[in-house]
Amino acid sequence: MQLTCNRTELIRAISLAERAVAIRNPMYVLEGLYMEAKDQTLTFISNNMELGIQCAIAADIKQEGATVVKASLFCDAVRKLPDYEDVVAISVEENMKLSCGNAKFDFSTINPDEFPKLPYIEETQSFTIGEGMLKSMLKQTMYAVAQIDSKPVLTGNYINIKDGHIVVVGCDGYRIAIRKEALTAPEEIKCIIPAKTSKELLSILSDGEEEATVTLSSNYAAIHLSHCLLITRLIEGEYFDYSSVMRHKNSLVITCETKQILDSVDRASLIVNETGKTPVILHIENDSVQINSETLTGKVNDRFQVSMSGDPIDIAFNPRYLMDAFKNCDADTIKFTFSTSVNPAIIEPVEGDKFLFVVVPMRIK
């Protein structure tokens, strides 16, 4: 294996590929980066058995071949190559030789036959969506995905396409985040993408109008982007009927500025400790919201005006849950709907239905 390539393009490619490299894995080969030089293309593959990434760059290949090199060493070395030279030379016999300008590295390699290939996706369903749209939908729902795996289906983003719309959902049992956009598919599509994959997608997806094609099999999804391919294991199981949480008779609706209520809750949370056991209490009446919190550290009280329709209420929330929801509201003004002091509250835009966030209140002692 012998080739030369552009240093900038090489850095771009390894920055993508290294995201799926395993860390401190019993299978040492998974800590490596698979490289194949063929047909004037240098291809990189990483695979931690849950997520795999493949990307490629153009290269001047003098001798084709494949190898696996420890990813952390190789990627760090590439980033430290001198920037006065654009051409990087790579050659592999028993060891890998990497050089650029006067800088030269020599790394041991692993037999490429030991590296697990990315799984073959036998397509059962597929859909195409704008990268920017998918990124926005994941970003606004990721915060509500469960961090512990007592219910595995809640540790990922649920995607459902039907009736001309795509819905992306995150839920941890205390809050639900729902994003909705127009998208058609020949048949209903349902899958659950692991949170780790969603997190990597947020870093990889562009904000533009490039399209992503998602191909599904029974256990995996292949996400074809303009500059790389991701293959992720899907979470198995049936997602819960989140619509049942919202089937309450609304007794109060307030309309307020998103930044105003976010800033007020943020101030009230200053004396709340990290355990999340101390709530902020919202007292709503006479077109006014009063937010209070009290701990051994001190007290905070704040008040602001809103547009209100319905009966007064006192209701308590974990302030972090409220702030997470408000920070992900893509609207200057929101509608905040309440049923009782113990039923979930709903946050949504004043117009349209692009997002809907549900927060379960805390019981006031």
What structural domains and CATH numbers belong to the chain? 2-114 (3.10.150.10), 125-243 (3.10.150.10), 248-359 (3.10.150.10)
CA distance 191 to 214: 11
**Where are the extended beta strands (E) located within 93-217?**
95-100, 103-110, 125-130, 156-162, 165-171, 175-182, 189-194, 211-216
CA nearest neighbour of 99 among 108, 89, 91, 109: 89
* Greatest C-alpha distance within the chain: 79
**pLDDT tens series, the chain, 365 aa:** 999 999 999 999 999 999 999 998 889 999 999 999 999 999 999 999 999 999 999 999 999 999 999 999 999 999 999 988 899 999 999 899 999 999 999 999 999 999 999 998 988 899 999 999 999 999 999 999 999 888 999 999 999 999 999 999 999 999 999 999 999 999 999 999 999 999 999 999 999 889 999 999 989 999 999 899 999 999 999 998 888 777 777 889 999 999 999 999 999 999 887 666 789 999 999 999 999 998 888 999 999 999 999 999 999 999 999 999 999 999 999 999 999 999 999 999 999 999 999 999 998 76
Q: CA distances (Å), 357 to each of 52, 174, 202, in order?
A: 31, 11, 20
**Contact indicator for 18, 33 with CB cutoff of 8 Å:** yes
CA distance 98 to 80: 12
CA distance 338 to 348: 12
**Contact indicator for 174, 216 with CB cutoff of 8 Å:** no
**Contact indicator for 222, 192 with CB cutoff of 8 Å:** no
CA distance 22 to 120: 20
**Contact indicator for 41, 83 with CB cutoff of 8 Å:** no
Phi/psi at 261 (5° precision): -75, -35
The residue whose two tokens read 């195409």 is 128
What pLDDT sits at residue 306?
96
CA atoms within 13 A on the CB side of 51: 21
What pLDDT sits at residue 275?
60
CA distance 323 to 150: 25
Task: Report the Cα–Cα distance between both ends of the chain, in Å, rounded.
Answer: 70
Q: CA distances (Å), 206 to each of 79, 132, 136, 168, 279, in order?
A: 22, 6, 10, 18, 38
What pLDDT sits at residue 317?
96
What pLDDT sits at residue 272?
82
Instruction: Tokens for 18, please give them.
Output: 């290294």
Instruction: Tokens for 191, please give them.
Output: 């899958």
Q: What is the pTM of this model?
A: 0.93
Burial of 118 (0-12, 13-18, 19+ CB in 10 A): buried
Phi/psi at 7 (5° precision): -60, -45
Going edge to edge, which strands form the sheet with 345-349?
189-194, 156-162, 165-171, 175-182, 355-359, 345-349, 333-338, 252-257, 307-310
CA nearest neighbour of 359 among 314, 331, 315, 317: 317
